[in-house]
Amino acid sequence: MRVLGVDPGTRNLGWGVVDVRGTVLTHVAHGIVRADESLSLAERLLVLDDGFRAVLAAQAPEEVAVESLFFGKDATAAAKLGHARGVILLAIGRAGLAVHEYAPAMVKRALGGSGRADKAQVALMVRAMLRLAELPRADAADALAIAIAHVQAAPLRKIAALHATALAARPPTPRVAVARPRRTQ
């Protein structure tokens, strides 16, 4: 299975690809789609869309994992990030792929650390897990971490899918009205 992890941003969009064969996790590629911050937001979104669609075409992932929206203290930054995520989610949808979203703290915990690890710690964990010679840049490291978290969550998704299938196959439980005695005062 080939997984593309995405760390959305309006200036730097990190991406990372891993392959999974059995229990072996292999680094394929990673990078950053950069949009010049002197461009307007609309122009940056076009750059991100073109660059991300090129990554999708070149890497041909089977599954895509995206960092979910994180609400910090800056509402304007969160709104701009939402625009970038929208571009990414649309491109993924157009490619016919499902979107899997993960909160930043969950990604950090999946890599064996705490949910409060900083970007440098995430990059170190990614380098160790994928046996990389060099430390990936922060946005690409985050994207690889998201892909790794998605791979590690796969067994839980399979169990949930089996459980949902079993529940759907079960005949509905008849509802029985029960008469309750009235209370006297």
For the segment 124-134, what is each residue's pLDDT rounded down to a tens digit? 999 999 999 99
Q: Report the C-alpha gap between 11 and 39 in whole angstroms.
A: 10
**Rounded Cα distance, 182 and 185, in Å:** 10
CATH number for the domain formed by residue range(s) 2-169:
3.30.420.10
What pLDDT, on a 0 to 100 scale, did the predictor assign at position 176?
A: 64
Domain boundaries defined on the chain:
2-169
Yes or no: say if 41 and 83 are a contact pair by the CB < 8 Å rule.
yes
Q: Which of 116, 115, 136 is nearest to 124 (CA)?
A: 136
Q: Determine the Cα–Cα distance for residues 13 and 34; give it in Å rounded to an integer.
A: 6
User: 67 in the Ramachandran plot: left (φ > 0), alpha (ψ -120 to 50) or beta?
Assistant: beta
Rounded Cα distance, 125 and 144, in Å: 10
Low-confidence ranges of the chain (pLDDT < 70): 70-73, 155-181, 184-185
Beta strands in the chain (DSSP E): 2-7, 12-21, 24-34, 63-67, 99-102
Between CA 100 and CA 97 the distance in angstroms is 10
Active site residues: 7, 67, 139
Query: Which residues, including other chains, have CB under 8 Å from residue 165's CB and lie 6 or more apart?
Result: none
Give me the amino acid identity at 179.
A
Closest CA to 142 of 127, 125, 123, 129: 123
Q: Are 90 and 53 in contact (CB under 8 A)?
A: no
